[in-house]
Structure 1
């Protein structure tokens, strides 16, 4: 029976729309974390009661549902959002109603709010590492393709700076609609065929990513010599493809489902027992799971769900996450994360080809301004075989 003593938490992830597959994984991970916490007796003897809404990948609905959570439902903290357009729609309402937003998705950086905690990788935790790996392994001539919204533009700007600083070049930069169709990728394939880059960097999201990889395969391009490298192609997108479609392509992330550590195996096993063997476990899902556990720890320390008090206890808080021990940076509300690169195998799973030896401190504004400085400040990467 629900009582007024329950801790209330809003969950905003889409179950329909262009990025639904990735967001369902995040929602599942959030629910798993809540269930684990409640099975141990909740927080200070009181269970967490989540309220889930489906914004259908619409920024307007994200905003409307955030207001509903904060006003009608009297909920003070919200976990959610995938695309940056959704976060940017929700965050002003979170700030206006003095709530907290927990954002678990990798993103472009260049943002700070005292009322938002960011658990996904920002660009200095993935762009630098991926660019260096690509230039050392495949070459320095890049072609960039992305969905037409803020994250791909900002991320591609960072990649361009890195490549140019590393004495590389950008062959072209192409954008497709967020709700792309197969036809939208025909000019992309023509440009790749014409320009013959060393690497294609993709920030195409959701269903469009599946279409890109299918078109790439049909065009006969060889991933062994000219791979697609991405942040936005995760286990959720791979689950929508035939296994042979994406073999050899690369993704940078803080966590992969195949990570072989005791804590990662325990998390993935629990996730699949709860949601099915085919349920994809992504880095953003792992981040959502971690954020709710961090919220519960801060809530216990605070003894109250007043957002300013919870936020104060969150800053500097650490957690033994499936990816490795993480820490909320008290200077910018982002999270110190691990960095990894995975290559897709014939079974449609990620083989981790290298990873950081230590977690990477977030620098969402890229205060370090030179390529060499970024390289020196990035922990040495351990190549995997």
Structure 2
């Protein structure tokens, strides 16, 4: 009898050990609320990548287990569920967030508990945490090149900076305002407006944008509008009879997924700046699209943040393999210098500032909801701290040699990063 009890205990411990040996991957994306339109696809992307990795034998001989939560576009929920993922679910890594306010909500939790998160969306920069790898674009990989395109290719003389009212648009537009002034654009020729998440009445704002060009100067819109508010904005433009030839819009948060829910007939010719478009002509992209449609459905599209998760996930897999462990500090060290093919051709590399090298693409919206790529650069190194604000130009991030995300090159000291949210 004692022998049987001992055997049962040993078996129970063995099964418990096997369960604990699984590598858990937290997925922290909104599946409801205003950001559902953008984030649900990223959850699906992660599930596909995890399934594919398990088909290859998993990682370190263990199965990857996704742990999916829904913060429901409620920013404090990102912090609460991030803590749950790390303390209760015991995940080894988190892939998540879209808005910067959600990232900044969970950031203190990651740093307190030494969690690791991959953030896949373009953002305002002005941040470098040892616990986050930023696989989306920094301003010098999206916003600045978009402004340059307006100035150099379209002859835009007046700028309407329209954004959702939170940290990403406000900080990005602070950088862009200074950049435009440095380029000789008068403050009177820059119109800035912010609206809440989910904003729907765009008539006055669109009228104000039209009025900006009353003197005959060319007006261009830089859009940092996020989520489903984009639907109302583009509908109002069409209702006002404004085409891309009249007032072009370049968006930083509108991709193929957002367009798939819109009547794009009135959006043709408007622009988006990203680091990836589904229309990119590269063998890696053709394979990725085929795999995605086989997994998610023939009508599902790909987009830029999906590519960022694809690159980040594969780099994490390679870093874990190299480190021989999922230990956060060891994996983070192995992440720096990781290279992996991006989906537009060429190679992405993780820099010591936890940002990627990324090509910059300008795409023109087509009637079918896809983008005609009209401009593409060589890979640009992501800059954690902008060169266009004096207080940031002196800062450097280097987690490899300096062990600091906010190193002041003038005082030669590492300073504590302060949230701008």
TM-score, normalisation: structure 2: 0.84
- 1:298-337 equivalences in 2 (<5 Å): 298-323=319-344, 324-330=346-352, 332-337=353-358
Task: Work out whether residues 13 and 54 of structure 1, in 8 Å CA contact, stay in contact via their aligned partners in 2.
Answer: yes
Aligned residue number for residue 82 of structure 1:
98
C-alpha distance in 1 between matches for 2:74 and 2:304: 22
In the alignment, does 2:134 pair up with 1:118? yes
Task: Work out whether residues 243 and 266 of structure 2, in 8 Å CA contact, stay in contact via their aligned partners in 1.
Answer: no
Task: Work out whether residues 178 and 389 of structure 2, in 8 Å CA contact, stay in contact via their aligned partners in 1.
Answer: no
In the alignment, does 2:184 pair up with 1:172? no
C-alpha distance in 2 between matches for 1:171 and 1:66: 38
> Of 90, 114, 118, which aligns to 1:102?
118
C-alpha distance in 2 between matches for 1:361 and 1:23: 26
C-alpha distance in 2 between matches for 1:76 and 1:150: 28
Q: Which digits, 9 at most, give the CA deviation of each residue in 1:201-254, with x for residues without a partner? A: 111111101110010011001212321111111112111211213211101101
Unmatched tracts of structure 1, length 5 or more: 374-385
C-alpha distance in 1 between matches for 2:40 and 2:311: 16
Following superposition, the deviation at residue 112 of structure 1 comes to: 0.7
TM-score, normalisation: structure 1: 0.92
C-alpha distance in 1 between matches for 2:310 and 2:63: 16
Task: Work out whether residues 29 and 286 of structure 1, in 8 Å CA contact, stay in contact via their aligned partners in 2.
Answer: no
In the alignment, does 2:26 pair up with 1:10? yes
Aligned residue number for residue 283 of structure 2:
262
> Of 49, 56, 59, which aligns to 2:65?
49
Q: Which digits, 9 at most, give the CA deviation of each residue in 1:238-278, with x for residues without a partner? A: 11211213211101101001111100111111111111122
Following superposition, the deviation at residue 368 of structure 1 comes to: 6.3
C-alpha distance in 1 between matches for 2:259 and 2:58: 35
C-alpha distance in 1 between matches for 2:157 and 2:208: 17
> Of 145, 151, 156, which aligns to 2:168?
151
In the alignment, does 2:369 pair up with 1:352? no
C-alpha distance in 2 between matches for 1:239 and 1:151: 24
For these two proteins, the number of residue pairs brought into alignment is: 367
- 1:1-385 equivalences in 2 (<5 Å): 3-138=19-154, 139-169=156-186, 170-181=189-200, 183=201, 185-196=202-213, 198-323=219-344, 324-330=346-352, 332-356=353-377, 358-367=378-387
Following superposition, the deviation at residue 137 of structure 1 comes to: 2.5
Following superposition, the deviation at residue 369 of structure 1 comes to: 6.4
Following superposition, the deviation at residue 53 of structure 1 comes to: 0.6
C-alpha distance in 1 between matches for 2:260 and 2:31: 16
Per the alignment, in what secondary structure is the counterpart of residue 114 of structure 1? coil
Q: 1:193 to 1:25 in 2, by over 3 A?
A: same
CA RMSD of aligned residues (A): 1.7
Task: Work out whether residues 5 and 46 of structure 1, in 8 Å CA contact, stay in contact via their aligned partners in 2.
Answer: yes
Following superposition, the deviation at residue 115 of structure 1 comes to: 0.8
Larger Rg computed on CA atoms: 2
C-alpha distance in 2 between matches for 1:296 and 1:229: 34
Q: Which digits, 9 at most, give the CA deviation of each residue in 1:146-180, with x for residues without a partner? A: 11111111111122122222222433111111121
C-alpha distance in 1 between matches for 2:53 and 2:74: 30
Task: Work out whether residues 212 and 219 of structure 2, in 8 Å CA contact, stay in contact via their aligned partners in 1.
Answer: no
Following superposition, the deviation at residue 4 of structure 1 comes to: 2.7
Task: Work out whether residues 146 and 204 of structure 1, in 8 Å CA contact, stay in contact via their aligned partners in 2.
Answer: yes
Q: Stretches of 4+ moved more than 3 A in 1?
A: 367-370
Task: Work out whether residues 37 and 293 of structure 1, in 8 Å CA contact, stay in contact via their aligned partners in 2.
Answer: no
Per the alignment, in what secondary structure is the counterpart of residue 4 of structure 1? helix
Unmatched tracts of structure 2, length 5 or more: 1-14, 394-421
C-alpha distance in 1 between matches for 2:315 and 2:135: 10
Q: Which has the higher contact order (CA 8 A, sep 6+)?
A: 1
